[in-house]
Chains A and B, each alone.
Chain A
Amino acid sequence: MDWSKFINFKGGRVRARSVPFSLFLLLIIALVDCRPANAIPAFARKYGMPCSSCHEAWPKLSPFGQQFKDNGFQMGNDRDAPIFQSPAYWPITMRITPNWHLEHQDNAIVDGPGGPNTALANITTHGFDFGGLDILTEGTLAHNISFQLVPSSDETATFHFESVNVRFDNILNSSWLNVKMGKFELDNLQSEKRIMTLSSNGGFYQNYHFQPWVAPGVPESSYVFGLGDNQIGIEWMGHSKDDRTRVSASLLSATDGNPAFQSGVGGAASSAYEGFIAGSRAFQLGNLGLQRVGGFAYFGRASTFPQYTTDNAPINGTGTGNEPYYRAGFIGMWYFKKLDVTTMYFYGHDSVYLGTNTPSNAGSAGLPSGAHAPTWNGALFETHYTFNPQMIFINRYELIRMSQQALDSNPGDLGNVDALTFGFRYYPFVSSRTGLAFHNEYSIVWQRKTQVSPTTGLPIDLTSSSLMFGLDFAF
């Protein structure tokens, strides 16, 4: 069959007809072949259970998988400690995603006849590619002592440590007393490390990483922070035996998860500490499923200037003039049998010094006129329809609205974000040792007035989109 009759392009952009057709084709295949799927190679090998036990569709955790994680990667059936495992067992999983993707950006600033950065263009790139590699090693060191070690690379095989921690579980035989130290994911119910979308625009949560703009074309640069980033510190976590109630509190270094007191960009990290608290409660609602509601808050402090420098380079860990920022929100995870909807409200606040990239050593006199502490509200709506463990449809809409700009001169909607992502994942074969998903996704993000047009000098919107077909596999 000549498939090109059904797939049409115009101007390098995929026409709507081709995407629905591909979706339709794979949907038909999926509906014809509805068998149980499984994955989670390392834990499946250890416990002999299908991945669909712990994941509604991997990597999204089911309540059972969440409890397994909260219990320190233990089932509680006296088979958890590594002493019971075959000596051949090695708790390692690798995950990577070869893919084809198309990236499109409207209003990209490019070099033009007038020189560097003097023109606007719509840029489209596409081709075969692959993502980074995750080497996931997790498990138990002994009864009630668990670990995580996740070397992770980008697509050029440049590695960093995504997670490095040891956790003492069920201290004093209490599920309310679990402590871990190292680098770990914050206790986010909506986990960015288990995000169901992978594309350049859809592979992270906008609300988790948003930082306001100082002015059109000028981003905040005093510090970098992402609620979705793994952080370094110590965490206490407690939960009821059935995991219906969960609480946690963390004390973290103000480094956004970077080692050696690096702040990630520009300025030097200070030796300040930050805090994160989270709590949630699940309840059964008839036969619809297990609903969960919760809240979270992050209280941070970022340095605005270094105390010492060498050759004008800040010395890591000597940052001072710490200024506060915080993020807080509420989350609801609502289940209607096979349909689930996650709703999240998000609030953010940055100090006026952080919001205007101003060192605080000069006090308020150093602030530009009309400066304010920027604040914003955000929301997330993510919907999944889990047709069966082999097939999940995903939709997500995020919005961010500035409620207070850093400068009076800014447009009121500077930095506002709308992000829409949809797709589906199909897990085609049955294996108790490996996992494979056909990953299909489209994502588009609109950012308001974040650029200054080199031709008119006026603020303009930036729109970027991703189309991705990938083979997401783990073994």
Chain B
Amino acid sequence: MLNIKITKICLNAAVALILPLAVSAQQADPSPAKPSPNIESHIGNLNGHSDSGADLYYRYCWGCHGARGNGDGENAPWVTPLPRNFVPATFKCRSTPTGTLPLDSDLYDSITRGFITTNMPGWATLTTQNRADLVAFIKTFSARWVTDKPGEPISVPPEPALTLDSIKHGKALYQKLECWKCHGQEGRGDGPSASTLTDSNDQPIRPYNFYTGYRFKCGTSNSDLYKIFMTGLDGTPMPSFADVVKPEEAWDLVHYLRTLQIWHKSPELALWESTPEGADIVKAERVRNTYTGNPMHP
């Protein structure tokens, strides 16, 4: 009988312990207010649904992007650069002109790819349907998705044949367009303006370092690089050059920028190194610093 009583007391104590803890936890942090539901996304044959995306968002994303999508998740203070605020619906990686909303596929690609040099990983392990659902849910955070339409995607003409002239013309454009002011003469992200740059959150932001990087914020291919400076990276100091350069000039710039990635093998770098001028420049750059193998810490 004594054992029975002891057991009864123990279980009572366990229930009494659990109940107030759970109730107090419930009071401490109100449930996040979910934005308006029932927005869809369309990526190819995929149709995403925001109501399905909500469950995924509150599993994977809210810690950084916040329960209301305004980038104030509880981890945000420890994340640099700050997580994306979805309320203004301003996105870096688009195939649409600067200032316009991106396509659903742009957001889908961003989720899939992630963003290098940030805390945002790639989410390719999620199913394609999951990612489409997340895109739909992200759109519920901003009224712009109701009032505006995504911009018309820019056309990316076929890449012209790689020539030495193209690289040299790109090199001249790099000077003419003053890319060096932010990215530095050697593309190391150490131009004279680099230390003064801030993003739309008024946070310091570093220009892209071609010397160490081989992936870009918005992809890895030449056409991704083309789109980056023809659409700009909204929310960052990187403007769109669509009104300044012609498409063929943009490709020249692409070819030149690839030669700045001296640790990343590419046809552009090989061609550039085959010239005495290019070989000297690349050799000098390689000698200037011994690359440690760490892509972010030469």
Contact = CB atoms under 8 A, between A and B. Distances in A.
B75 to A, nearest CB: 3
Interface string A26-44: 1001101111101000001
A408 interface: no
B218 to A, nearest CB: 14
Interface string B112-134: 00111111111111111100000
A102 B22 contact: no
Contact of A243 (B55, B79, B125): B125
Given A33-B22, A79-B118, A12 B7 contact: yes
Contact of A25 (B15, B67, B117): B15
B139 to A, nearest CB: 19
B26 A33 contact: yes
Interface stretch (B57-65, B175-183, B197-205, B254-262): B57-65
A7 B19 contact: no
A48 B79 contact: yes
Nearest to A65: B125
A469 B75 CA distance: 31
A194 interface: no
A245 B6 CA distance: 53
Nearest to A438: B18
B29 A430 contact: yes
Interface stretch (B36-44, B88-96, B238-246, B290-298): B290-298
Interface string B45-76: 00000001001001110111001000000111
B12 interface: yes
A311 interface: no
A242 B118 contact: no
Contacts of A22: 11, 14-15
Given A35-B29, A76-B121, A84-B296, A52 B15 contact: no
B28 interface: yes
B129 A284 contact: yes
B1 to A, nearest CB: 10
Interface residues of A, number: 65
A275 interface: no
A419 B29 CA distance: 39
A36 B62 contact: yes
B277 to A, nearest CB: 30
Interface residues of B, number: 57
B294 A83 contact: yes
Contacts of A9: 4, 7-8
B129 A126 contact: no
Contact of B10 (A38, A44, A100): A100
B21 interface: yes
B16 interface: yes
B8 A7 contact: yes
B23 interface: yes
A33 B24 CA distance: 11
A119 interface: no
A287 interface: yes
B206 to A, nearest CB: 12
B31 A50 contact: no
B32 interface: yes
B3 interface: yes
Contacts of A241: 124
A289 B55 CA distance: 13
A48 B123 CA distance: 16
B120 A77 contact: yes
B119 A77 contact: yes
A90 to B, nearest CB: 15
A77 B117 contact: yes
Interface string A402-416: 000000000000000
B25 interface: yes
Contacts of A7: 8, 11-12, 15
A143 interface: yes
Which of the listed residues B59, B67, B122 has the most CB atoms from chain A within 10 Å of its own CB?
B59
Interface string A117-155: 000000010111000000000000011000000000000
Interface string A425-448: 010111010000010000000000
16 contacts: A7-B11, A12-B4, A29-B22, A33-B31, A36-B58, A36-B62, A49-B63, A50-B60, A63-B126, A76-B114, A76-B122, A83-B296, A126-B3, A290-B125, A426-B22, A428-B21
Given A36-B62, A75-B114, 4 more contacts: A7-B12, A33-B25, A48-B78, A243-B125
Interface of A: 3-4, 7, 9-12, 14, 18, 22, 25-26, 29-30, 32-36, 38, 44, 47-50, 52-53, 63-64, 66-68, 75-79, 81, 83-84, 100, 102, 124, 126-128, 142-143, 241-243, 284, 286-287, 289-290, 388-389, 426, 428-430, 432, 438, 469
Give the 7 A-B residue pairs with the shortest CB-CB distance, closest first.
Answer: A48-B75, A50-B63, A75-B121, A33-B26, A429-B25, A29-B22, A428-B25
